[in-house]
Amino acid sequence: MSTITRHESDARLSRAVVHNGVVYLAGLTADKRSAGMKEQTTEILHKIDTLLKTSGSDKSKLLSAMIYITDMRLKPAMDEAWLAWADAKNLPARACVETRLGTPDTLVEVMVVAAQ
């Protein structure tokens, strides 16, 4: 049976869980919630870089990304940050839907799965 490694765990969740060469990240949101959609997305994508590094992976090994945004009209701003960050040769399967998030000023949340 392969082991499960957890990173940055608190009472409720782990920010990253690794099993069988696959890294599962928690839903990540921006700390700077006064920022707009593009900036919030960029902050989250940088958090993903850091967590993937901690987990022995990087964005070129992304498998899937689930993006939740609070207003579909802001999707172009999210996409702008995404395109500036993503590895164009190694893009994950991605979906983006509109939903309500943890706090009213949280505009975007991203949840990814990556290979190690």
Partner 1 sequence: MSQRITRWECDAKLSDMVEHAGILYLAGQIPEDTAADTRGQTAEVLATIDRLLAKAGSDKSKLLSVVIFITDMRDKPQVDAAWLAWADPQAVPARAVLEARLLNAETRVEMVCVCAR
Q: Under the criterion CB under 8 A, does residue 99 sit at the interface with partner 1?
A: yes
74 secondary structure, DSSP code: G
Contact letters for partner 1, residues 33-62 (x by CB under 8 A)? ----------------------------x-
Q: Under the criterion CB under 8 A, does residue 101 sit at the interface with partner 1?
A: no
Which of these ranges, 9-17, 18-26, 33-41, 102-110, lies near partner 1 under the rule CB under 8 A? 18-26
Q: Under the criterion CB under 8 A, does residue 95 sit at the interface with partner 1?
A: yes
Of 45, 48, 58, the closest CA to residue 116 belongs to: 58
Q: Under the criterion CB under 8 A, does residue 22 sit at the interface with partner 1?
A: yes
Coil vs helix vs strand at 86? coil
Least Å distance, CB 17 to partner 1, is 16
Would you give the end-to-end CA distance of the chain in angstroms? 18
Beta carbons within 8 Å of 76's beta carbon, 6+ residues apart = none
